[in-house]
Structures are given as C-alpha cells and as structure tokens.
Amino acid sequence: MEAIPSAFARALVLYEYKCNIRTQLSKEVFDDERQLKAELARQKSSTLVLFVVQPDERNIADQRFLEFELLSRYGIRSVRKTLAAIGEENQDRSDSILRANEEEVAISYFRAGYTPDDYPNESCWLGRELIESSRSIKCPDIATHLLGTKKVQQYLAKDGVVEKYIFDDEAVRRIRATFATQYGLGVHDDDRELGIAAAKASPELFVLKPQREGGGNNIFGAGIPSHIESMDDSALSAFVLQERFFPTVRYFLLYLCLF
C-alpha cells in the first residue's frame, strides 16, 4: 500500500468497484463498503466537465448530445466556456484547481483551441495556460494535440524518426506503409528546396497544407506554385507539402423512389 500514492489508490478502488471487482486494496483504503459508496455518490454529484468552445459556436449539435448523455446516463454535469472566459474567471492561481462558475473542473474537453483564430487576445492564451497548468484531466492532452499538427506529422515521416520509438522492424514497415511523402518548407528544413522544386515541377501530385484543422484550408494542384511564390520565408514555414492521395474512382447508380 505504501508504494501507491493515496489518491491513486482511492481512484483504483473506485474503478474496481464500478467494474464489480473486489480486492484487498479496498479494505486498506476504505473502512467499509458504505464509506466507499458514499465516496462514489459524492464524486458523481461534484464532477464537472468543462466544454471549451468557440464564441458563437455553430458546431453545437454533437456537443449537446454529449452533454445530455453525460447527465442522463451518468449524472455528470457539464458547463460551456470560451478560452477567454476561462482566462478571465480563473484569477486565483494559488492552487492547481481550474474553476468554472466557482466549481472545480474535473475534465477539460477541448472543442476549441485548434487554430490560431481561437487565440485573438491574451485572455485566450491565459485561459489555455490555466487549463494546462491545472490538475483537471485534459482531453486531448497537449502532447496529443501537438501530434495532430501537420508539422509534427511531417517530422514523424522523416527517415529514422519512427524507429526512435518503435523497435519492431515489421511494425515500423507497416506504419510507414500508411505514410505519405512530406516536405518541410521552413528555412531550417533540409528538404525545403527539394519540396519546392517538386511542387513546381508536378503540382498536381501534391497538396500544400497549413497548420489548420478541418477542411477549406489546403491548396491543390496548379494553385500551389503561385501560392509558394506569394509568401515570404516566415509565412511559407507554416506550411507542409504533402504527396496527394488519389482515391479509387468507383461508379454507381442512385435510384430515387418517388412512392
């Protein structure tokens, strides 16, 4: 028992109880089952999930569905806040508690913060900093968030990088079979000139991708050379040049029944 921090031990026992598992650890952490059940009830009533959203959020339908499911199925409440509102509300930084409406947040669920447009002022940056420095569980955490950026994906595609983390040759081969060729366009990228030359020679084979999420931001085909020429080194470094995927074309008939 001494080897397990007390908070982890309590969390483990509560998880085991929910999974209908009984171990000796539960007897060491809680005096009796009534105390354990009381702790479960207390946690359910006090758990708060923070949805980090954009101002005037339009993509709200699936978010509301998740909120209703959390409440109706598990009794867990949710609250919606923008990054700016979080930054303005959490002025007390003497502890690691993130608060929403003066209640502690258990989970910070990011539905915003994935694009530079989500950080128009210092309050938004402060809100993100307060979330990351708090003890709330982040979904996703900052490492997973960064992993989704084009620049990190481009770096992982470089020769020898995956091999630093995975030592099974067959697993590496299978992973690399899913990769597309990518070129960094920053001034410090050693494949920059090769990528620019390839894009100008055969632009139809590539897609120019900024560090953005969602659709509508990529540059394809004939528009790539002129876009590259229009940017200075600083602007161009925010882009990655990727080999374009060409999905198999399949033909089918669509029948419309009018009765």
Give SS3 for 114. Answer: coil
Q: Which residues of 180-194 are buried (b: 16+ CB within 10 A; e: fewer)?
A: eebbbbeeebebbee
Backbone angles phi, psi at 202, to 5 degrees: -140, 65
DSSP secondary-structure letter at 204? G
pLDDT recorded at residue 23: 58
Strands (DSSP E) contained in 53-127 are 77-81, 99-100, 103-104, 107-110
Query: Per-residue confidence of the chain (259 residues) as pLDDT tens digits?
Result: 344 445 555 555 555 555 555 555 555 555 666 666 666 666 555 678 999 999 988 888 889 998 998 888 877 889 999 999 999 887 677 788 899 988 889 889 999 998 888 999 999 999 999 999 998 889 999 988 888 888 888 988 888 999 999 999 999 999 999 999 999 998 889 999 999 999 999 999 999 998 876 667 899 999 999 999 999 999 999 899 999 988 898 998 888 877 6
Backbone angles phi, psi at 200, to 5 degrees: -75, -35
Token pair listed for 251: 């033909």
Backbone angles phi, psi at 7, to 5 degrees: -65, -40
Closest CA to 239 of 194, 197, 185, 179: 185
